[in-house]
Chains A and B, each alone.
Chain A
Amino acid sequence: MKKYVVKRLVQLIPMILGITFLTFLLLYISPGDPAQKRLSAQGVAVTKEVLAQTREEMGLDRPFIKQYGDWLFHLLQADLGLSYKDGTPVNQKLARGMKNTFVLAAGAFLLAVAVSLPLGIYTAVRKNRFSDYCIRFICFLGNALPNFLLAIVLMYFLCIRINAFPVIAKGSLQGLFLPTVALAFPLASRLVRQVRVAVLKQLETDYVSGARARGVKKGYILFRNVLHNALPSIVTLLGLSVGTLLGGSVVIESIFMWPGLGKLAMDSITARDYPVIQGFVILMAVTYVVVNLLTDLGCRLLDPRIKE
């Protein structure tokens, strides 16, 4: 097990090198100049001399490979550099965004799991019944509704019409509730369907029919056998969801004034803030690898048949 974990972590190194090189290259060749964006952020024009001077100061006049090499050299010293946009250390910006995103993601994940697991199992058991159709229809809506619409509808009804929540409530439990629901609803809708399929697949196997024929109680089979066997697929699905959630959601973060990683990444891309984008990419790469590793380890624990 230990060897397996070390191996997976070592694989991270070439992966990060490849990803950061590609990101840096894509940013480099994409239109837009970080110096121009910084100087003209408010639509004020600058002279060519000032632009050239700023490009030099920011190191943008150097060849691509030198820029990337310098960035990599600093990375090895755990220094992600300073934001082109405002001179703030990238580490600081990412740490703040990560903290906010983590709180939101954890809330949304827990809520989505709390709702989707029982509903997924219930719809599988009640396959093609009225309640199954109702829940699936709601899940269909959850998958189809765009994030921003759901967020605004929630805010409109719960804050303006029912007056149950304030619009400005950042930093409190109240402030966490609406963005969590807005983020959890589509996720739960997706998970309900996926859990349903995973459980149905087990319910249709021969060992279930056999157990039923031998008079084993339905509830016992469901909770002791079916769920146990469906868990590796469910854990894998949950692992994938965690990765997505930790990437942040631009729309939810913007509407609910939640300064997380999604908004930070989007703003940085717009401003061509290379150091922040690179930092974000590394963070996401590491997050995905770690989450996938934990998922794999979880699956191995649940099902010892899964080998390396």
Chain B
Amino acid sequence: MNKKIFVFLSILIVSAMALAGCRNHTGEGLPVNETEAAGEGREQEKKILRVSEAFVLETLNPHLDYQGWYTSIYGLTEALFAMDDQSSVKPVLAESAEAEGNEWTVKIKENACFSNGNPVTSGMVVRNLKNAGEINPRFSNLLDYNYKIIDDKTFRITTVEVYPTLLNDLASPELAIVDLDNSGDMAKELVATGPFVISKFEPGGTVEVARNDKYWGGEVKLDGAVFYYMPEADTSLMAMQNGELDSYTSVTSDAAEIYGQAPDTYKLVTVPATRLQFYILNENRLGAPVRKAINLAVDSEAIETYLNGTVTSTSGPFSPTAAYGKAAKAAVDPEGAKELLEADGYILNVDGYYEKDGQVLSLNIAYYAARSLDTLAALMQEQLGKIGIKVTLTCEEDPDGTYIATGDFDLALYCMIADKASDPYYFISCTLAEGAPYNCGGFSNGKAQAWIDELKVETDREKRAELANRIVQLAIDEDAFGYVALFNKTTVMRKGVTNVSENCPFDFYFLTADTDMD
């Protein structure tokens, strides 16, 4: 009887597998373009890059929320300017931009055109900027400016006050230039200027793009690309191992280790990106010696080692390669930290913790369990414990920053983009200025505020960098913050795949006209 059952089950399983079909790369599950590309004798002809992404797109409107990041990744849209690998702003659709006080005159490239062949005109650019200002609250300041169309390829923006970072703003992918007259409501169709055009868009699913044959910027090397929505890192890893993907970013440390073992098959590129892990020391609760001791005890290099290639330790909030990323912090010195606490009247008790007036030196670390902040909290607890500070961890549910806004913490961990457009003002104004949304620990310094006000209107890049370095240094010296690490952007490519913006620290670039594969 048992044998019969075994035979029956075996037949059942084999039948099910046969019904489901055996492995077939050109099967019905693959997108049309890819199926065609993988067809007999045509595999050599078409170069379709297969990519996984952890996000999902519901509409193609680049002006809405952060959609422009994704349409930029897909190679569909371009803005007037862009950030390059060295974090500098470079013109894309724009030819040049000149400032005179609060007036910016922008010239558009003569040959810039949309995928339908229509030229990019100054009138269309201004309409795009206004549209973005209307539907995206983060760019509502664009509605406060005056726009004057000088000719078909030149327009002038008059800002309310001197605005040195306007070009950096114009490099935001959300300010992509779209043919508004021929893109409908941009829910499913989009006519833009990028090297690729949309060929199949499934809201909440797979996105397929094809070469823009009328691309104004020259030859596009790939025939197309397919972006699969894969929220699970393990699925991307297995699809890559199975030869079903050619590249993706945000590679986890575990996956990177596996790819690293097969250098003949995969190429891994890791660059420090713009997302910063840092902590805010609450000046309203912690005295200067305790804050200093904490900063002396936190070893960001040890944290980098523990996080196994996913972060790069940092002294300040910006990449050290940037002119405004030159702030320095004191070397790790646990013994010095202990001496500071003892000089402040703390005595080590039998449990190994410092105490003063019968009160154990304890603090709570508030954090949310994402972006490795939970690991960071645990590591800091251990490091601070070694110098005699008792730490309790408070895991907050919301990653949106409302928990730090309350100021109800001793030390709060947070992760945010520190450099969103190759300029330091955004981060400094958000975290160090008086009343700034992320200045929640009581940092208030007249000198820093004066420099911040100066930075706001300073147009000279070198002076801006110098001011930024001075402001950040002041915050570090006052032990108001601790800058721990910058998240790395890790990209894996199958051998032969090139130019997927792997050296660019910004998250919103991937496919370009130069992207290629063997």
Please list the residues of chain A having a beta carbon within 8 angstroms of any beta carbon in chain B: 30-33, 36-48, 50-51, 53-54, 57, 83, 85-88, 93, 96, 122, 130-131, 152, 155-156, 159-160, 163-177, 254-257, 259, 263
Contacts and interface: CB of A to CB of B under 8 A. Distances in A.
Interface string B92-129: 00000000000000000000000000000000000000
Given A54-B137, A155-B238, A168-B228, A43 B398 contact: no
A38 B137 CA distance: 10
Contacts of B503: none
A175 B29 contact: yes
A93 B22 CA distance: 33
A51 B415 contact: no
A42 B244 contact: no
A99 to B, nearest CB: 11
A48 B437 contact: yes
A36 B25 CA distance: 43
A134 to B, nearest CB: 8
Contacts of B27: 166, 169, 172, 174
A178 B263 CA distance: 30
A173 B396 contact: no
B239 A167 contact: yes
A294 to B, nearest CB: 28
Interface stretch (B83-91, B162-170, B203-211): B203-211
Contact of A259 (B16, B20, B205, B402): B205
Nearest to B50: A168
Contacts of B19: 173
Given A32-B398, A160-B242, A257-B230, 18 more contacts: A31-B397, A31-B398, A32-B402, A38-B65, A44-B420, A45-B416, A45-B426, A54-B137, A85-B58, A88-B59, A163-B23, A163-B242, A166-B25, A167-B238, A172-B28, A173-B19, A257-B228, A259-B204
B49 to A, nearest CB: 14
Contacts of A152: 234
Interface string B425-454: 011001100010110000000000000000
Contact of A31 (B205, B396, B426, B435): B396
Given A43-B417, A172-B27, A259-B205, A36 B239 contact: no
21 contacts: A30-B397, A32-B402, A36-B400, A40-B401, A43-B415, A45-B417, A46-B138, A50-B140, A53-B137, A85-B65, A87-B58, A156-B238, A160-B238, A164-B22, A165-B20, A165-B23, A166-B23, A166-B30, A167-B235, A168-B228, A259-B56
B363 interface: no
Residue among A51, A171, A257 having the largest count of chain B Cβ atoms under 10 Å: A257
B235 A96 contact: no
Contacts of B507: 42
B132 to A, nearest CB: 14
Contacts of B24: 166, 174
A189 to B, nearest CB: 15
B218 interface: no
Given A39-B138, A57-B137, A152-B234, A159 B242 contact: yes
Interface string B141-156: 0000000000000000
Nearest to A131: B2
A263 B400 contact: no
A303 to B, nearest CB: 31
Contact of B417 (A42, A47, A48, A54): A42
Given A166-B242, A177-B16, A44 B204 contact: no
A94 to B, nearest CB: 12
B231 interface: yes
A53 B133 CA distance: 13
Contact of A173 (B21, B30, B203, B438): B21
Contacts of A164: 17, 22-23
A165 B239 CA distance: 11
Interface in B1-37: 1-2, 5, 16-17, 19-25, 27-30
B208 to A, nearest CB: 13
Contact of A167 (B205, B242, B401, B438): B242
A77 B228 CA distance: 36
Contacts of A172: 27-29
B235 A155 contact: yes
B29 A42 contact: no
Residue among B19, B137, B206, B229 having the largest count of chain A Cβ atoms under 10 Å: B137
A219 B46 CA distance: 62
A131 B400 contact: no
Contacts of B244: 166-168
Given A166-B23, A257-B229, A32 B400 contact: yes
A4 to B, nearest CB: 39
Contacts of B275: 43
Residue among A36, A43, A54, A88 having the largest count of chain B Cβ atoms under 10 Å: A43
Interface string B234-263: 110011011011000000000000000000
Interface in B213-236: 228-232, 234-235
Contacts of A30: 397
Contacts of B137: 39, 46, 50, 53-54, 57
A40 B400 contact: yes
B288 interface: no
A155 B230 CA distance: 14
Interface in B40-89: 50, 56, 58-59, 64-67, 69
Contact of B64 (A31, A57, A87, A163): A87
A87 B16 CA distance: 41
B232 A255 contact: yes
B66 A41 contact: yes
A45 B438 contact: yes
B292 to A, nearest CB: 26
Contacts of B420: 44
A119 B204 CA distance: 39
A296 B244 CA distance: 47
Contacts of B23: 163-166
A19 B250 CA distance: 39
A185 B398 CA distance: 34
Nearest to B69: A42
Contacts of A37: 398, 400
Contacts of A51: 437
Contact of B30 (A43, A57, A163, A168): A168
Contacts of A163: 23, 242
B402 A36 contact: yes
Contacts of A39: 137-138
Nearest to B1: A131
The 5 tightest CB contacts between A and B, nearest first, are: A172-B29, A169-B29, A32-B398, A177-B20, A45-B430
Contacts of B56: 259
A46 B437 contact: yes
B403 interface: yes
A76 B245 CA distance: 46
A145 to B, nearest CB: 16
